[in-house]
Each structure stands twice: as C-alpha cells, then as structure tokens.
Amino acid sequence: MTLQDITTAGPATLPKSSARNVAKIIDRWVWIGIASLILAFLYIPIAVLVAYSFNDSRSLSWPMSGFTLDWYRKLAENEQLIVAVQNSLYVAVCATSLTLAIGVPAALALDRLSFPGKGVFRKLVLLPIALPGIITGISMLILFRLIGFGLSLETVIIGHATALLAVVVTQVYARLQRLPKSLEEASADLGASGLQTFFMVTLPNIKTAVMGAGILSFTLSFDEIPVTFFLTGRDNTLPMYIWSTMRRGLTPEINAVGAVIVAASILLIFISVQLQRKQAIPATKSRS
C-alpha cells in the first residue's frame, strides 16, 4: 500500500469531493515534476555528450551545425587510442580476475571462519570503498619505489585489484550471509571434500553475486583514474589517454569516445539487470 492509498482511503460510502480530487491531481503532478527535474539533471549532460559527437563542427557550441560521422572515423584511425583501449582491457581483465581470486576467499573467510585479527582484516579489506583512491595510489607508489619495482601496467593491475577488493568482498559476503550453512554441512556429511563442496555447492549458489561483482569491478577498473595516475609507467589506459587529450583541448573526438562508452555501459547495465533478475528467482523459490 502506498502513502497515497493511505491518505486518500476513507469510508467507502463517503463521496469524494471534487476539491479533494483536484488536490490529489496537483499532488501527483508536483511529484512527477520533481522527479522529471532530477532525471533531466542526470540525463541532459549525457545527451549533450552523445549529441555533440555527431556535430559537424570542431567547436562545442550552440547551435549545432550538422550531422557527421567524421569524429568516429577519426577514432577508428587513432592508433594511440586503440592501444589505450587494449591496455585498459588488459588491465581490467587481469585486475578483475585477481580481485575475484582474492576477494571470494576473503568473503568466505569473513563469513565462515574465525581467526585472530579478523576485525582488523575486515576493516582493512573494506577501507578502499570510502578511502579516496589517491591514498591507495600514493601509498603503493611509495612501496614500489622503495622496493625498486618499476611502474608498468602490472603495477596498475595490482593497484586496481587492491582498490576493488572491497567491492567484491561486500557483494559476495552479502550473498554468503543469505546462504544457509546447512547446505555445506550436508555436503560434508555426504563425504564431499572441502574443494568439492566449494565448487559444487557454495560456488553455484553465489555464482550470480560473483559475476555481478566481476562486471562491476571490470567497469570500475576500466574507468579508474586516481590509482592509475600514480602507478602507471609509460603506458596509458583509456581514461588516462582521454584525460591527457582533454588537458590539451576539447574536441568532439572525446565526445565520440564518450558515446561509445555510453553504449557499452548500457549493454553492461542490461547484463547486470538480467543477472539480478536471475538471482531474484531462486530467492522466491526457496521461500515457497
């Protein structure tokens, strides 16, 4: 029941006065107006970003002059950009795999094991969620410098995996908490080894959470700047390349990159919504 039902519900015999109906309609349109304003605030800039990638002029100003696909043609020919995209894909894939490989056992340990220093461990793992990326970036920069480790895409991967650990742990931990321990106990009673239980009982049950965390980590890594800024050597990731281009000047080519990223994001959002829908089904089933 919504608030509207509550506030407008009265004895059924009472005739609704027209003044009350008018008030109800006004109330409704005021709320729709507020929501539309916020959505406009969120989406007009994105629409502007995409629209100007098709604009037939170098300058980003009003009115728009005409339609062109030239900026996309330029993108396709820009070798530095293509290398940057490849670097970003490499970093995002490696960082995501690494952070899943560490994050899933970390979530398991936090949920199922007790060990000395668990409180400190939990705090450290979850810290990067609220910690400014710059602190992770510079503290690892100092570490690598002191041990004489040269900066490269690999140091970026280590940085990303560390910063994203918190994302994976929170998502997987939340799912594990909802998973009854009895399943794993049954598996052990029936003679399965720890590894068998993990791969045949636990993992299938947390699969969508792990995949969701993986997609989110991938997106965040692909977009990451503060940690990358301090930990990269000569190689540029895509955001770093875009950033260095931006600082030289604004061109509709950046808008074209933006439009491609918006399209890719929509695809990823669609996939993750599908995943969420799938995870909702077993939850309702188990209740019935």
Partner 1 sequence: MTLPPRLRKFLVLSPPLIWVVLFMFVPYTILFVFSFWVQQYPTFAPAFQMGNYIELFRDPQYLQTLVRTIKIAALVSVFSLLLAYPYAYFLVFKVRRPGIRLALYMAVVAPLWVSYLLRAYTWKTILGTTGILNSFLISTGVLTEPSPVFLYNQVAMVLTLTYVFIPFMVMPIYAALEKIPPSLLEASADLGMGRSASFFRITLPLSITGVVAGFTMTFCLAFGDFIAAYLVGGPDGMMISNVIATQFGASLNWPLGSALALVMLVIVLTIISASDRFERLGQGKFA
Q: Terminus-to-terminus CA distance in the chain, angstroms?
A: 23
Stretch that binds partner 1, among 13-21, 67-75, 203-211, 251-259 (CB under 8 A): 251-259
Residue 85 near partner 1 by CB under 8 A: no
Shortest distance in whole angstroms from residue 96 CB to partner 1: 15
Residue 101 near partner 1 by CB under 8 A: yes
Stretch that binds partner 1, among 72-80, 142-150, 177-185, 200-208 (CB under 8 A): 142-150
Per-residue x/- track, 113-132, partner 1 (CB under 8 A) = x-x-----x--xx-xx-xxx
Shortest distance in whole angstroms from residue 282 CB to partner 1: 19
Stretch that binds partner 1, among 12-20, 66-74, 103-111, 206-214 (CB under 8 A): 103-111
For residues 263 and 211, what is the distance between their CA atoms, to the nearest angstrom?
21
Q: Residue 151 belongs to what H/E stretch? A: none
Contacts with partner 1 in 196-225 (CB under 8 A)? 219, 223, 225
**37-46 burial code (b ≥16 CB/10 A, e <16):** eeeeeeeeee
Do 152 and 90 contact (CB within 8 A), yes or no?
Answer: no
Stretch that binds partner 1, among 15-23, 76-84, 98-106, 174-182 (CB under 8 A): 98-106
Q: Name residue, tokens 């100007």.
A: 52
Residue 233 near partner 1 by CB under 8 A: no
- Cα torsion 91, 93, 98, 103: sign: positive
Residue 92 near partner 1 by CB under 8 A: no
Closest CA to 237 of 162, 143, 157, 141: 157
Size of the site for partner 1 (CB under 8 A): 82
Residue 89 near partner 1 by CB under 8 A: no
Shortest distance in whole angstroms from residue 79 CB to partner 1: 21
Hey, is 67 helix, strand or coil? strand
Contacts with partner 1 in 1-40 (CB under 8 A)? 1-4, 6-7, 28, 31, 34-35, 38-39
Do 47 and 55 contact (CB within 8 A), yes or no?
Answer: no
For residues 224 and 203, what is the distance between their CA atoms, to the nearest angstrom?
28
Which residues lie below 8 Å from residue 192, measured CB to CB, with a gap of 6+? 200, 201
Q: What are phi and psi of 113, to 5 degrees?
A: -110, 155
Residue 174 near partner 1 by CB under 8 A: no
Residue 65 near partner 1 by CB under 8 A: no
